[in-house]
Amino acid sequence: MALITLTSDISEQDYVIGAVKGQLLQINPEFSIVDISHQLSPFNYSQAAYVCRNAVKHFPPFTYHIILVSLFEQKPEHLLLAFHNQQYFLCADNGLLSMIIDGKPEAVIGLPLDKTALKNTLYCTGVMGNAINEIADGKDLRKIGVADFSFKQKNNLHALLGDNWIEGQILFIDNFENVVVNITHEEFEEQRKGRSFRIVFKRDEVIDKISEAYSDVAEGEKLALFNSAGYLEIAMNKGNAAGLFGLQKFIDQSQSQYMQTRLFYQTVKVFFE
């Protein structure tokens, strides 16, 4: 029985996600389907990579991960099927794959699409589901599509480093408006070198210690901690940090110029002393 995860930027407000699951079960009623998230922001590759990368690593080996994110940013002529670290990934050829695995996969196959077909979400999911079914039936991965396929690659956003500082971009804001920054615990300690520090955001908000839990501070007080994925998180005990401090997910230059001019803060800086 194939274990399949679904991740998308589609949301669950209409029929599409339900239809996708129904279509997969028509291909093979024994498929087991697990949702990761369907609330990803459209065209936010860094957010999608963060969510997928940190969820995927907790699944059993040989799980199939269908990622329906920015599926039609360009008119697709093929889809990607990749294998890496004992996991299968199926997604559009839009650069997200290399961001999720932070490099090149061990194997990548191109799945051609019928030129005459109406290339909507359900058609693409059907192509992915049929490929999964063939692998589950024992077919050689390299015979399912075009082997050693050349695919589009994008680089992850990385924190900026200086001798006495590190600056990260906001990757994700969760349902409680806790703010996740692309500074890992490892990077933080490597730059810190045992020194004291100040975490600075907005214009003059400062945090100078790392907490272990939200309850380490009084209700309504701000705090910083490293979350279960190992990333720096700015939060407020029983409060909404993002809304209160005007913090927003980092917007790539390719996105709306209007959104970039609004009064939001998208980075967090740490000074070491």
Q: What is the pTM of this model?
A: 0.88
pLDDT at 260: 43
pLDDT at 252: 56
Residue with tokens 């932070």: 102
- Rounded Cα distance between 183 and 50, Å, is 12
pLDDT at 157: 80
Q: Distance from CA of residue 175 to its chain's centroid? A: 15
H helices then E strands: how many in the chain?
7, 14
pLDDT at 73: 86
pLDDT at 158: 87
What is the amino acid identity at position 110? Answer: G
CB 122 within 8 A of CB 10: no
pLDDT at 254: 45
pLDDT at 250: 79
The second-level CATH assignment, the architecture, of 3-143 is: 3-Layer(aba) Sandwich (3.40)
Q: Which two tokens stand for residue 140?
A: 């050689």
User: 236-245: which pairs have CB atoms within 8 A and are 24 or more residues apart?
Assistant: 236/177, 236/178, 238/214, 240/176, 240/177, 241/177, 241/178, 241/179, 242/173, 242/177, 242/178, 242/179, 243/177, 244/177, 245/201, 245/202, 245/205
User: Over the chain (273 residues), what is each successive 10-residue block's mean pLDDT?
Assistant: 96 94 97 96 91 96 97 91 97 96 94 93 97 95 91 90 94 93 96 96 91 95 96 95 88 48 73 96
Q: Residue 16's CB: how many other CB atoms inside 10 A?
A: 18
pLDDT at 4: 98
- Rounded Cα distance between 14 and 20, Å, is 12
- Rounded Cα distance between 78 and 149, Å, is 10
pLDDT at 256: 44
What fold is seen in the domain 160-272?
Answer: Elongation Factor Tu (Ef-tu); domain 3 (2.40.30)
Q: Which two tokens stand for residue 224?
A: 């910083």
Domain coordinates of the chain in residue numbers?
3-143, 160-272
- Rounded Cα distance between 62 and 60, Å, is 6
pLDDT at 264: 53
pLDDT at 1: 85
